[in-house]
Structures are given as structure tokens and as C-alpha cells.
């Protein structure tokens, strides 16, 4: 699980871990990266935690999934990566457009900085 502290002070990685354990995932199978603040940092800061892992699962908003996959291929070479889109949360059209514009800008940044 990867993610830093969000606006309300809770840690995203710990929150996701707790939810996964409640759903039956063995806690010893979960690795935490608790400091990232972007998709890029999610991938890069997870590298040391995943050295001995052969298979990695990425679950993310559908908007982030393609970019996360692109970054994972660059930084997690030799790993099998499975991708899953999280469910939609009933986004309004305005929120959808905000996410879309943010993702376009994030792609421009990722390609410019990490290619």
C-alpha cells in the first residue's frame, strides 16, 4: 500500500492496509510506503520495499492507472504488474472534467520529467 498523509491527517497507506486486512488479506503480505505525495512517488518510493516481490498489484482511479502502469514499467522492470481500476464514486460532470484536466497535466509532467 502506498500513500502519504492526506488533507485530514490520516495516512492513505495505513487506511488502505486496515481495509485490506478487514477484507481478509493477511497483514504479513502487505507492505507499506507511507510518504508519497504523487503517483510518481508512489512508484519510486515503493521500489526498495518490493525488491523481492515478483508480482505487484496496482489499484487506482481509472484516471491514474495508465500513468501508474507507464511509471511501473520504467521503475519495476522484471516484475509482473497487475492493474485494477477502482470503482467510480458517482462523480459529477464538473468533478470528472477536473480529474481529466489534472490527469492530462500530470501526463505532460511525467513524460517531460521521467522519459
Residue 92 CA to residue 111 CA, distance in Å, equals 29
pLDDT score for 25: 92
* pLDDT tens profile 17-43: 999 999 999 999 899 999 999 889 999
pLDDT at position 107: 74
pLDDT band at 104 (very low <50, low <70, confident <90, very high): confident
Question: Bridge partners of 55?
Answer: 80
Cβ neighbours for 103, distance < 8 A, ≥ 6 positions apart: 63, 64, 67
How far apart CA 64 and CA 49 sit, in angstroms, is 21
Q: Give whichever of 7-11, 99-103, 111-115 has the largest mean pLDDT.
A: 7-11
In 3D space, the residue among 106, 33, 97 whose CA is nearest the CA of residue 66 turns out to be 106
pLDDT of residue 98: 76
pLDDT in tens, 39-94: 899 999 999 999 999 999 998 888 788 899 999 999 999 999 999 998 765 667 77
Query: The pTM is what?
Result: 0.74
Amino acid at each position: 500500500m502506498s500513500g502519504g498523509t492526506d488533507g485530514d491527517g490520516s495516512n492513505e497507506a495505513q487506511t488502505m492496509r486496515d481495509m485490506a486486512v478487514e477484507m481478509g488479506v493477511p497483514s504479513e503480505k502487505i507492505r507499506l510506503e507511507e510518504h508519497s505525495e504523487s503517483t510518481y512517488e508512489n512508484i519510486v518510493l515503493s521500489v526498495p520495499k518490493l525488491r523481492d516481490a515478483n508480482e505487484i498489484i496496482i489499484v487506482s482511479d481509472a484516471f491514474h492507472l495508465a500513468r501508474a502502469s507507464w511509471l511501473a514499467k520504467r521503475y519495476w522492470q522484471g516484475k509482473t504488474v497487475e492493474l485494477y481500476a477502482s470503482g467510480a464514486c458517482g462523480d459529477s460532470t464538473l468533478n470528472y472534467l477536473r480529474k481529466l484536466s489534472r490527469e492530462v497535466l500530470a501526463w505532460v509532467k511525467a513524460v517531460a520529467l521521467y522519459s
